[in-house]
Structure 1
Amino acid sequence: MNTPVKILIVEDEMLIAANVSLELTSLGYEVIGIIPRGEEALLHIRENQPDILLLDINLKGNLDGIEVATEMQKEFDIPVVYLTANTDDAHFNRAKETRPYAFISKPFKKKDLQRALELTLTRLASEKEEDSSNEGIEEEFAVFEDALFVRFQDKMVKVPIAEIQYIEADRNYCRIHSLNKEYLLVLSLKEMEDKLPKNHFIRIHRSYIVNISQITEIATTHLVVNQKALAISKGFKKDLLKRIQTV
């Protein structure tokens, strides 16, 4: 590696963190910090962004590792690799919502750490190639008063806004879920959000935009659209409740 990949370790067991740091350094990575608390990690990331965030799930303090990843992803698009002794379904399902690049179980082996990071870098390189190949493609969709025209099988088709249920991030793509069909578009969810009519759609999670008229239930951590439960991030829930009150 010409320029070492910068990794931030967020781990509250300092012996483990020191061991991880030594292994990373021996593998040629640059450790830019060892942080024991989630709140401190968020401050550190804002000042010195790493290339990869190596994050323990079960942190002490106000934020666990999953909450740290969720908060970080509101501002930055940094790959997350979880280092954890928690392998139960509840933790895994929560962590999965943050779309991590890998999981490393504690106690870890150097080979596990090495392979997880190599896979992460391979995936990052692949995503950059996809970004480059998508430059200059034709417009993926157009917005009209009551419908979107979206690219589907080399043609533009009309999708009434009333039939769109939600839109889901799918790596560098986004997937429109309508009543009768799904449409995969070559653009990010953020690009989609910027163009959608705000009176019909709202972002509820880094992975989801919903059609407000399709919401049938709002719970503490999720909402329901056509019997499909979609996670709500804390940072978006306040805006959602405001919008619901004014509709």
Structure 2
Amino acid sequence: MHIINVLVLEDDDFEAVILKEYLEENHFNIVKICNNIVDAIEIYHTQTIDFIIIDIFLNGKPDGITFAKTLLKRTRNVTPFLFLTGHAERSIFENAKVTHPHGFVLKPFNEKELVYTIQLILNKHNRSIEDNTALNDNSSVPYFFKKNGVFYKILPKDISFVEVEGRYCKIITLKTNFISQYTLTDFHKQLPSFFLRVHRNYVVNANKIKEVHSKDNLIVLENNQTITLGRAYKNTFFDHYKVIR
């Protein structure tokens, strides 16, 4: 399970201690608690951050809003964040709203309120990513493969891997195989983004991977089929994942 890395921007030491306690008790990893936006920006761009908690007022100024605006300018896909504030004035809310925060939590807050809000934001954010990925990948659009005069309907998710077959390529599914007149490189371009080139002879459905034996350069699929992980593709392959050691 991936641990959620949290960046906190909070200048009140007492509030920072409470946040640290609440988050760690609920298995979040606090990467850093910053009390100014300069440090927060540096941490954001040098560490892996999954979620940000931002106090709107730092040293009496709405620097939290400034920090959020900076993220919008510098980053295309902003990490989900929520604002903390002890100010309930409408003007503060309207000013903060232009940064499109994923949520607001008013001080004083309790543990469940904070944690549930974060979990709801992350669930919504993840669903949005999954929906966009599915839309962009066209992963629900089927292929029709011809074999012995019959056209077989196959969804991309049902393809385990694709391998070189002479000048063409072979599509492997759990039930049967097909030969395409595309080269492996050209057929890979037709596939959704969850298909990874792992060898000059193989493209693999990442969702079918069960294990990776790094020392042996071997990929094990759900059906216990094995695929060679090419040395030239190894670094690129692991770039698609967050490796927890």
User: What is the rounded CA distance, in whole Å, between the counterparts of 1:62 and 1:83 in structure 2?
Assistant: 14
Structure 1 residues 56 and 124: alpha-carbon distance in aligned structure 2, compared to 1, 3 A threshold: same
Shift of 1:60: 2.0
Verify the 8 A CA contact 2:8 2:32 in the aligned structure 1.
yes
Q: Which amino acid aligns with 1:101?
A: H
TM-score by length of 1: 0.53
Which AA in structure 2 matches 1:115?
Answer: Y
Q: C-alpha distance in 2, partners of 1:101/1:63? A: 18
| Post-superposition CA distance 1:131-159 (Å, at most 9, x none) | 1221146xxxxxxxxxxxxxxxxxxxxxx
* 1:121, distance to aligned residue in structure 2 (A): 0.9
Percentage identity across aligned positions? Answer: 25
Q: Does the CA contact (< 8 Å) of 1:102 and 1:116 recur in 2? A: yes
Distance 2:7 2:41 in 1: 11
Aligned positions of 1:206-217 closer than 5 A: none
Equivalent position of 1:237 in the other structure: none
Partner of 1:177: none
1:44-85 alpha-carbon deviations (Å, 9 max, x no partner): 111114111100000128761001000012223111111110
Report the counterpart of residue 64 of structure 2 in structure 1: 65
Cα contact 2:56–2:62 (8 A) shared by 1: no
Aligned twin of 1:84 = 85
Q: For residue 128 of structure 1, what is the aligned residue in structure 2?
A: 129
Give 1:97's aligned residue.
98
Gaps of 5+ in 1: 138-247
SS of the aligned residue for 2:31 comes to strand
Distance 2:87 2:47 in 1: 28
Is the CA contact 1:53–1:81 (under 8 Å) kept in the aligned structure 2?
yes
For 1:124, give the aligned amino acid: H
User: Contact 2:80/2:122 (CA < 8 Å) preserved in 1?
Assistant: no
Quick one: structure 1 residues 84 and 100, their matched pair in 2 at CA, closer, same or farther if it must change by over 3 Å? same
Does the 8 Å CA contact 2:4/2:29 hold for their aligned counterparts? yes
SS at match of 2:99: coil
* RMSD after superposition: 1.6
CA contact (8 A) 1:38 1:61 kept: no
2:206 is aligned to none
Consecutive unaligned residues in structure 2, runs of 5 or more: 139-245
Report if the CA contact (8 A) 2:83-2:104 is conserved.
yes
Q: Which moved more, 1:62-71 or 1:104-113?
A: 62-71
Quick one: distance in 2 between partners of 1:125 and 1:79?
10
Q: Deviations over 1:10-53 (max 9, x none)?
A: 00001111110111000110000000011211111111141111
2:195 paired residue number: none
Give the Cα–Cα distance (whole angstroms) in 2 for the partners of residues 103 and 54 of structure 1.
Answer: 10
Question: Which residues of 2 match residues 1-247 of structure 1 at below 5 A?
Answer: 2-60=1-59, 64-76=63-75, 77-136=78-137
CA contact (8 A) 1:39 1:63 kept: no
Aligned residues: 136
CA distance in 2, matches of 1:16, 1:124: 26
Instruction: Measure, in 2, the Cα distance between the counterparts of 1:71 and 1:62.
Output: 16
Letter in 2 for 1:85: G
User: Residue deviations 1:162-207, cap 9 Å, x none?
Assistant: xxxxxxxxxxxxxxxxxxxxxxxxxxxxxxxxxxxxxxxxxxxxxx
Matched letter for residue 39 of structure 1: V
Task: State the one-letter code of the partner of 2:95.
Answer: R
